[in-house]
Structures are given as C-alpha cells and as structure tokens.
Amino acid sequence: MDTRAVFDFVVTFTNGGSLRGEGFRLDLPRADIPEDEIGTLLVAHLGLLMVEKVELRQLRRLEEPHRGSRGVPRPVTGARRLIDLSHPIHHGLVTYPGLPAPEITDHLSREASAARYAPGVTFQIGRISLVANTGTYLDSPWHRYADGADLSGLSLEKLVNLEGVLLRATGTGRRAIDVLELAPLEVRGKAVLLATGWDVHFATPRYGQEAPFLTDAGAAWLVEHGAVLVGIDSINIDDMGDAARPAHSRLLAAGIPIVEHLRGLEQLPASGFRFSAAPPRIQGLGTFPVRAYAVVDG
C-alpha cells in the first residue's frame, strides 16, 4: 500500500507573506521520509517560489493509494492497465437531448448470407445511421470554424499516446471549472481531462440539467499554457445555457481538439498515464465518436 502524509502547514516567503493549509494530503515516496523532506515535497507539489520556511503541524502518515503528487513519481510495477473511457453506442441511445438516436440494423443478415457461402459459413454486414455527436466523441476545429481542420485534417500526434493530466472536480458543489482549479496543473503538451463525475447521469434526463462545464477564462488559460487536447465527462464542455459556447470557441480556434462524454475518469491517477481518442479520418465532418482510452503503467 502507498503512503500519504496528512498535515496542516504554514509556508513563509522571503519577500513577505505566508500561505496556510489544513488537512493537506501529499503522496510520499516512502513511509519513513523525514519531516523536512515532506516540506520540500510540499513546495515542489505546489510549485512555490521564494520560500523561506515550511512548518508542518499535526503530521500523520496514512496507508492510502497515491494520487499523483508532483515530485513523487508513481511506482512502476511492470503491470500495464488499459482503461476504457468511452460509453458504448447502441440502437436508440440518446446522447444529447434533442438529437436523434442511432439506428443500428442489418445491411446483410446472417440468415440472408447463408445462401451466398459454403454450408455453415455466414457473415453479418451492419448498417448504422447516426448524428456525429453520439456517444463519446471528439470535436475538431471544423466543428466550430468553417476554415478549421476537419477530422481528416487532424494529425495523430494530437490524438493518440498523449501524456495525460487529470483534474478532479468532483464534490466541490460548483458547476464551473475555472482558472483557480486548473492553475496547479502542468498542462503543456498534455491531454487535460476534467473529471466531474457527471457521467453517472449519462443517458438520463438529469444529464442535461445543470451540468458541470469549463469557463471561458479556464479555456483561455489552457490555450495559453499549451494544452494539446481537453476532455470532460459531462454533456458539454460549455455551459449549456451559454449560446456563445466560449470554451469550444477558444479551444478549437487554437487547434485543440475536445472530447466530450467521457466516462470512468475516477479510475485514473492525477498523472502518469497516456490518453488516446482517434476518430475515423473522414473528410467534411468536424465531430465523430471515438474509442477513448488511457494506458496506466504500474
């Protein structure tokens, strides 16, 4: 079992002022790490500069799984886990209220194919009719901008085997994900996944009501800090009530693909995973379902 420290702290800065925290949890590289080194890990985790002194109070060590604190590498055991982050698509599935559900039928049934092949040999050729915004899907810039790249214009470097970072935004009681939540993350060159827990309502009437979203300022911060893909486990990366769709507009204008309707993000660590979500290379479409997944080492 991994070890985490729980403590209150006071950080004093050389240029004046201080920072305080209560009940802070931090991953430890080993159970017997000295207290002063825990203070150093805290500074590294928070990315603090010009620190004069760190005081830890009521320090306890607990056996808890690591969550991916900066400065504490996750142990690699050699075991690799593949985590599916996609909703299955089935006949009649309602992904987005007001959009039609997919129709999945036979083009050639097994029974009809029996006359075409040797005895005992049958095949099925399926037919599916769906809107592009079905299941877990990816938005390319062309979804928002007529002169942006469509699905066929996206390079694989923007879609697969991306280093990932996870923001846990569950249990806050707030719908909006803003700059202050994002600021601790190192996002440059990474897929940024926003875990809101809203996927539990997928395919229910509740899914489209008062759902979590990324703010305009949050999207601008991700663009400025170099994120290469942004995903969310909610119905829309924007507030459904905002017709301007600012998060879509900012991210897609910067060439940053968006993946919506993810699921199962609670299974991921805060960092130390690779993310992939590649749609078919279709010309003239800006959005299409993907099989999104993560690879976690150790």
Claim: this prediction has a pTM higher than 0.85: no
pLDDT at 75: 57
- 232 within some domain: yes
Q: Clarify whether residues 163 and 21 are in a common domain.
A: no
Which DSSP helix (H) or strand (E) runs through 25?
strand 18-28
Q: Is 50 inside any structural domain?
A: yes
Same domain, 17 and 150: no
Whole-angstrom Cα Rg for the chain: 23
User: What's the pLDDT score for residue 88?
Assistant: 97
Picking from 178, 166, 184, the residue whose alpha carbon sits closest to that of residue 47 is: 184
Same domain, 280 and 160: yes
Last residue of one domain, picked from the residues 19, 40, 63? 63
pLDDT at 215: 97
Q: Are residues 254 and 150 in the same domain?
A: yes
Return the pLDDT at 74. 58
Structural domain ending residue among the three candidates 39, 63, 87: 63
Question: For 167, phi and psi rounded to 5 degrees?
Answer: -105, 120
Q: How many CB atoms lie within 10 A of CB 228?
A: 20
The predicted pLDDT at position 73 comes to: 59
Does a structural domain hold residue 246? yes
Token pair recorded at residue 168? 């846990």
For residues 28 and 100, what is the distance between their CA atoms, to the nearest angstrom? 49
- 187 shares a domain with 44: no
Measured CA distances, 264 to 132, 136, 146 (Å): 22, 12, 33
Q: How far, in Å, CA of 139 to CA of 247, rounded?
A: 12
Residue 14 one-letter amino acid: T
In total, how many domains does the chain have? 2
- Is the residue at 220 inside a domain? yes
Q: Are residues 156 and 14 in the same domain?
A: no
Please report whether residue 81 resides in a domain: no
Q: Which amino acid is at 44?
A: A
- Per-residue model confidence (pLDDT) at position 81: 92
Where does residue 146 fall: left (phi above 0), alpha (psi -120 to 50 degrees), or beta otherwise? alpha
Reported as a single tens digit per residue, the pLDDT across 255-298 is 999 999 999 999 999 999 999 999 999 999 999 999 999 999 86
Question: Token pair for residue 64?
Answer: 């808890």
Flag whether 70 is in a domain: no
Same-domain pairing of 16 and 146: no
* 116 falls within a domain: no
Cβ proximity of 26 and 41 under 8 Å = yes
pLDDT of residue 64: 73
Let me know if residue 101 belongs to a domain: no
Kindly report the CATH number assigned to the domain that includes residue 142: 3.50.30.50
CA distances from 157 to 87, 138, 150, 163, 279 (A): 23, 15, 15, 11, 13
* Predicted pLDDT at 70: 64
| Ordered per-residue pLDDT tens for the chain, 298 residues | 688 899 999 999 888 899 999 999 998 988 889 998 899 888 888 888 778 899 999 999 988 777 666 666 555 556 789 999 999 999 999 999 999 999 999 999 999 999 999 999 999 999 999 999 999 999 999 999 999 999 999 999 999 999 999 999 887 788 999 999 999 899 999 999 999 999 999 999 999 999 999 999 999 999 999 999 999 999 999 999 999 999 999 999 999 999 999 999 999 999 999 999 999 999 999 999 999 999 998 6
**Same-domain pairing of 146 and 260:** yes
Q: Are residues 207 and 293 in the same domain?
A: yes
Domain of residue 286 covers 137-297
Domain boundary, last residue among 34, 63, 92? 63
Q: How far is CA 168 from CA 171, 195, 196, 275, in A?
A: 9, 5, 7, 16
Same domain, 166 and 283: yes
Q: Are residues 289 and 185 in the same domain?
A: yes
Do residues 58 and 142 both lie within one domain? no
Smallest CA-to-CA distance from 76 within 268, 244, 273, 282 is with 273
